[in-house]
Structure 1
Amino acid sequence: MVQIADPNPAARRPKVLPPGARPLASRASLNWLGLVPFVLFAALFLIFPVFYLVNGALQTPDGRYSLDTMLSLAQPQIAASYWLTIRLSVVSALSGTALGLALGYALYMGGLPVWVRRTFLTFSGVASNFAGVPLAFAFIATLGRLGLVTLVLRDVFGVNIYAAGFNLFSFWGLALTYLYFQLPLMLLMIAPALEGLRPEWREAAQSLGASGRQYWARVALPVLAPSVIGCFLLLFANAFGTLATVYALTSSNVPVVPILLFQQIRGNVLYNPNLGYALALGMILIMAASNTLYFILRRRAERWRA
């Protein structure tokens, strides 16, 4: 019998790993352990609570499963509360988006010194997280009926803003208060998109005879549009779930959905936890839709920065 020599004998030898080295499959399996804390946190504080809300929203106060609790969201008072919250969120998000984009343009395209940009970004990182009772107190001390700015305008300049119709404890007063944390948050989110506008695009447009207005209308703004719309949606979701600021500023005089939910779960008169679960589930659905659109638009915007 004729034996054929193995053309590649080294390939059939068992591979010897270096001292202390682990197999690739073992290392890959150990890498998944880093996700355990995140998975546990998401399950305990996000996934399980959502299932708990769904279960409670599909029950009546006597423990019977029914759609009556969810259908009760169509009641005039609750529907008006949702509509008020949506309008307040849209107004504050639009204002924050427009002013934040203008501020970002001034910082990145206006030729300002670098230290000015860094100062604004540092302040924005702090101001975007300044909310709740401290923010409400700051605005009351500044623009309340006896606030510092109110008294200075009245006594020094002879302008009574409350006699002219301004009211901090109203819809537009809340929108102005929300703008304090919406504007810096917009600046932080839109900064990477503004930095991603490549100088070569402007130079190419100018070499083809385009003016500055045509460059922004046909190149820059279409590139920025997904990021701007995505930031608006994130600002909308941020304002939609705000409770501490509006409650500390107006108590229950402006019945947004978070306050109505708080009254149903913790209130002595309006105590209906199942209706509170339904209100919370409705908020989650609205915010989930907003955040889903945001992630879709963000992925689209990242194509231009790749």
Structure 2
Amino acid sequence: MKWLGLTPFALYVLVFLAVPTVLAIATGFVDADGTFTLENLAHLGDPVVLGSFWSSIWVSGLTAIIGAVLGALLCVALAGSKPGGVLRRVIDAASSVLAQFGGVMLAFAFIATIGIQGLVTVLLRDALGIDMYADGVWLYQLPGLILPYLYFQVPLMVIVFLPAMEGLRREWAEAAATLGGSSFTYWRRIAGPVLAPSFLGSLLLLFANAFSSYATAAALISQGAQIVPLQIRGALIAETGASRANTAGALALGMIVVMVVVMAAYSLLQRRAARWQR
């Protein structure tokens, strides 16, 4: 009867995750009259849709790689700090907060800071003669998503990768030093291979996090639908009616396929990494 304790969580998953996902996918297989059709899936081959998928993939991949590298370096620096110390508690608390700080508030923070009339923009222009927007209004276009996404990608990397760093045993480094191995040898032959599955798994998690982000992009990019979530928004609010809404279901199916592949790979890497964390 222990499984009864999972009933509230199971109901939550069913009502707020499973049912909306099934409904979203189902709308991609019906037309405006509710008749089954595969015509909506043809929109996935549209050059504009393929371009939005590519844009989502490269923005998510770039921010995931940069966020993973910066977050891993921060974890390496934190590994030498005292567990439970002030520095560790401050970093953990800050990472937990900043990893969840997204959406409209994050977009507003960047607009107020480095927007066209942002504090830093005006200061650089008036004091140093540096015009951040001399080559175009980049913040409100696709490249402008990179900095806001990194704002929550790096803290997320710290949260998910720091436990792997803490799993490294001091005895391994001492054994390597006793056998005449250098610090570089230790990281290349021992720590690196042990941390590789956790690092790659965290990288995939960051990719999935950026790929599914919507609110920040929607607040910054008001014109066009350069990534898939904005394509879905455009389909849902289009004036052409239910046919476009059904196209949104097909786009959602495409996103779900990408996410399933990424999370399946993440699960495999996590199981491999768990061998060294026991």
- TM norm. shorter chain > 0.5: yes
The AA in structure 1 aligned to 2:182 is S
**How far, CA to CA, are the matches of 1:270 and 1:239 in structure 2?**
29
Q: CA deviation at 1:269?
A: 4.4
Q: CA deviation at 1:153?
A: 2.0
**Partner of residue 133, structure 1:** 104
Task: Render the CA deviation track for 1:152-190: whole Å, top value 9, x for unaligned.
Answer: 222233322222667212222211110001110011111
1:255 aligns with 2:222: no
**In the alignment, which of 261, 281, 288 is matched to residue 260 of structure 2?**
288
The AA in structure 2 aligned to 1:220 is A
**In the alignment, which of 192, 196, 208 is matched to residue 179 of structure 2?**
208
1:123 aligns with 2:94: yes
Indicate if the aligned counterparts of 1:252 and 1:259 stay in contact, CA closer than 8 A: no
Indicate if the aligned counterparts of 1:193 and 1:227 stay in contact, CA closer than 8 A: yes
The AA in structure 1 aligned to 2:60 is S
**In the alignment, which of 49, 54, 57 is matched to residue 83 of structure 1?**
54
SS at match of 2:68: helix
Indicate if the aligned counterparts of 2:81 and 2:87 stay in contact, CA closer than 8 A: no
**Partner of residue 163, structure 1:** 134
**How far, CA to CA, are the matches of 1:96 and 1:169 in structure 2?**
21
TM, length-normalised to structure 1: 0.85
Aligned positions of 1:145-294 closer than 5 A: 145-163=116-134, 167-269=138-240, 272-294=244-266
Indicate if the aligned counterparts of 2:72 and 2:158 stay in contact, CA closer than 8 A: yes
> Over alpha carbons, which structure has the higher Rg?
1
The AA in structure 2 aligned to 1:297 is L
Unaligned runs of 5+ in 2: none
**How far, CA to CA, are the matches of 1:185 and 1:119 in structure 2?**
15
**How far, CA to CA, are the matches of 1:124 and 1:211 in structure 2?**
32
**Partner of residue 71, structure 2:** 100
Instruction: Give aligned-pair identity as a percent.
Output: 44
**How far, CA to CA, are the matches of 1:110 and 1:117 in structure 2?**
7
TM, length-normalised to structure 2: 0.93
Aligned length in residues: 277
**How far, CA to CA, are the matches of 1:81 and 1:145 in structure 2?**
26
Q: Higher mean Cα deviation, 269-278 or 218-227?
A: 269-278
**How far, CA to CA, are the matches of 2:247 and 2:224 in structure 1?**
20
SS at match of 2:239: coil
Which structure features the higher share of helix residues? 2
Q: CA deviation at 1:305?
A: 1.1
The AA in structure 2 aligned to 1:157 is L
Q: 1:170 to 1:296 in 2, by over 3 A?
A: same
Q: CA deviation at 1:270?
A: 7.0
Q: 1:269 to 1:143 in 2, by over 3 A?
A: farther
1:304 aligns with 2:273: no
Higher RCO (C-alpha under 8 Å, 6+ residues apart): 2
**Partner of residue 15, structure 1:** none
Indicate if the aligned counterparts of 2:81 and 2:88 stay in contact, CA closer than 8 A: no
Q: 1:49 to 1:194 in 2, by over 3 A?
A: same
**How far, CA to CA, are the matches of 2:155 and 2:275 in structure 1?**
25
Task: Render the CA deviation track for 1:99-141: whole Å, top value 9, x for unaligned.
Answer: 1011111222378993222212111111111111100000001
Unaligned runs of 5+ in 1: 1-28
CA RMSD in angstroms, aligned pairs only: 2.0
Runs (4 or more) in structure 1 with deviation over 4 Å come to 110-113
Q: CA deviation at 1:303?
A: 0.6
Q: 1:270 to 1:116 in 2, by over 3 A?
A: farther
Q: CA deviation at 1:48?
A: 2.2
